[in-house]
A = this chain, B = another copy of it.
């Protein structure tokens, strides 16, 4: 059996995440039980939401983090050996590999990946990031051509896709991001109509200037002050898509909700709706077909920040939470 390498939770973080919250372990690769599949991880994706679900635990998560367990995560893997009739050595799969080189997976936990697919595409545009952007924008936000859509964390894994899908619907699209370089990428490379740096002192005025017809759909990946600012800029019967809360993940004390909730929701008749992509599982294939089509036609550009080697996963996560990455964060294992 090959040697396994794993990234463990060394301690559960209370405040901002550091690489010291993780440790590396080397050991034997797992043995297979009945109907299990030995997976060799090829690439992992890291998302900001894992800071909440994977490292804080919550009522809605069956899994709660604790010292000494392998960090949870989704990866693309190659099947090395199989005790299941559903998979054979050489198959490409996606599943809950965790941050480790090898894992024994129940065959029911795995989904087959089309041969030849770049793991980064599978984990980004065709993974929960792309699917969240697709269903969150189109189903929850339901923008109409000509409307103004604002996306926060717009250079991030979900945001950069959501904004481009909004453009494909004929909307005016404004991205909110945290650096001039990210803002430039949105407008110069990804076709956003405007972008605003939320770290600028005059952010609120800049957001107003960028949304002369106010906001019809706000795709919220951040919560916090950006949500508060967008809320006061919503049009009557606008929709706020609550996709993520990146402003609140890396802290022990979530901030209060924005002023104006619920008063402003009443006077503007705004709908604010949380969603999780897993509720749309029976429509994943529809979304993946459409996303592949857009990518092939050059209408949707998928951004990726790549890290090399399993050992780099903790740093990748810290960089992601610190705003140093763009698009989907991928670790090639």
Contact = CB atoms under 8 A, between A and B. Distances in A.
Interface of A: 52, 58-60, 220, 223, 227, 236, 240, 242-245, 248, 254-276, 279
Given A256-B256, A257-B256, A269 B279 contact: yes
B263 A248 contact: yes
B274 A220 contact: no
A266 B254 CA distance: 14
A276 B270 CA distance: 10
A223 B257 contact: no
Contacts of A242: 262, 265-266
23 contacts: A58-B267, A59-B267, A60-B267, A227-B262, A242-B262, A242-B265, A243-B266, A245-B262, A254-B259, A254-B260, A254-B263, A256-B256, A257-B257, A257-B259, A257-B260, A257-B261, A258-B261, A267-B274, A267-B276, A269-B274, A270-B273, A271-B272, A271-B273
Residue of A257, A275, A276 with most chain B CB atoms under a 10 A cut-off: A257
A269 B276 contact: yes
Nearest to A262: B242
A227 B265 CA distance: 13
A270 B279 CA distance: 13
Contact of A257 (B258, B267, B276): B258
Interface-centre pick from A261, A268, A275 (highest chain B CB count, 10 A): A261
Nearest to A227: B262
Given A255-B259, A257-B261, A261-B258, A274 B266 contact: yes
Given A242-B265, A271-B271, 8 more contacts: A52-B263, A220-B262, A242-B266, A244-B266, A258-B261, A265-B273, A266-B276, A270-B273
A274 B270 contact: yes
A2 B256 CA distance: 55
Contacts of A258: 256-257, 261
Nearest to A258: B257
A242 B264 CA distance: 10
Nearest to A237: B279
A58 B268 CA distance: 11
Most-contacted residue by chain B among A243, A255, A262 (CB, 10 A)? A262
Nearest to A61: B267
A280 to B, nearest CB: 11
Given A269-B279, A272-B272, A261 B261 contact: yes
A242 B265 CA distance: 7
Contacts of A59: 267
Contacts of A236: 60
* 9 cross-chain pairs, A with B, having the tightest CB-CB distances, nearest first: A257-B257, A257-B261, A265-B274, A256-B256, A266-B274, A242-B262, A271-B273, A60-B267, A245-B263
